Amino acid sequence: MGKGYFNFKRFVIFQNDKVFKLSTDSVLLGSIIPNSLQPPCILDIGAGTGIITLMMAQKFNSAFIDAIEKDVTSCQYLKKNISLSQWQNRITPYCMSIQYYANKTITRYQLIVSNPPFFNTDILPNTEEKKQFKHTVTLSYEELFNAANKLSTTNGIFYATFPYNVLDEIIYIATQHNWHSFFIQKIKWTPNKDFERVICGFNKNSLLPLQIDELCIYNQNGRYSSAYKNITKDFYLDKFWENH
């Protein structure tokens, strides 16, 4: 994902070195969420520069989307990327923490998405920006699930990405906040590597059967796998695959 800007099929993401870069995690999360949901209202927690927000706007053409981002620089790019899109009338950015927003709004959402901070046990980086982007120092998992629970409708669904090694912890915390997992997508980068990420889908109905899938991003030759290409095909430009 290059610096400056990145073109997708129907929108562009501008960014710089001071913001959390557009990532494979975000593209995969936005792609995996089923088109069949068709939620009227969507909340993106920790929207960054807007990649998942804009993917949701493209995928759900009648949904209204609220995008929450605490970091000021990221929020500036979020607003810019929204304003340049064809869906700006359906998206509202908020530059504030999700904790503050959860206590402020009366809106409730049928779909909540988040690619939250991670690596909560790693050595902290030396800049405040990186601490916020990659570590659970400004948003703990408990706070994330609590906010999602408070802001969702009774039949709401919550999708989020986490490090694979905290999956058991995530499932436990989720149940403490009235969320039950119905979907787990285990993700590894190459066939010989261990799983590194997991995308989880939660709802408030514990009776749904749990679906567990696995995905490898790259094949043995270092090229994107057919499975990854198929999942993300609605978003990447065709020429992207020529060099990947």
- Taking the C-alpha atoms of residue 61 and residue 170, their distance in angstroms, rounded to an integer, is 31
Question: Domain residue spans in the chain?
Answer: 5-243
Residue 181 · residue 198 · CB < 8 Å: no
Topology (CATH) of 5-243? Rossmann fold (3.40.50)
Question: pLDDT at position 132, please?
Answer: 45
Could you report the average pLDDT of every consecutive run of 10 residues in the chain (244 residues)?
A: 79 78 86 96 96 98 97 94 98 97 97 78 44 55 96 96 96 96 97 96 89 96 94 90 73
Nearest partner of 8 among 183, 228, 238, judged by Cα: 238
Question: pLDDT at position 20, please?
Answer: 57
How far CA 87 is from CA of 60, 96, 97, 164, 209, in Å, comes to 11, 22, 23, 33, 35
Question: pLDDT at position 4, please?
Answer: 84
- Taking the C-alpha atoms of residue 59 and residue 234, their distance in angstroms, rounded to an integer, is 9
pTM (2 decimals)?
0.90
- The pLDDT tens digits of the residues spanning 27-80 come to 999 999 999 999 999 999 999 999 999 999 999 999 999 999 999 999 999 999
Question: pLDDT at position 35, please?
Answer: 95
- Taking the C-alpha atoms of residue 117 and residue 119, their distance in angstroms, rounded to an integer, is 7
- Taking the C-alpha atoms of residue 218 and residue 188, their distance in angstroms, rounded to an integer, is 8
Residue 45 · residue 114 · CB < 8 Å: yes
Question: pLDDT at position 29, please?
Answer: 96
Q: Give burial (CB, 10 Å; 0-12/13-18/19+) of 201.
A: buried
Question: pLDDT at position 23, please?
Answer: 80
Question: pLDDT at position 18, please?
Answer: 61
Nearest partner of 234 among 2, 32, 91, 24, judged by Cα: 32
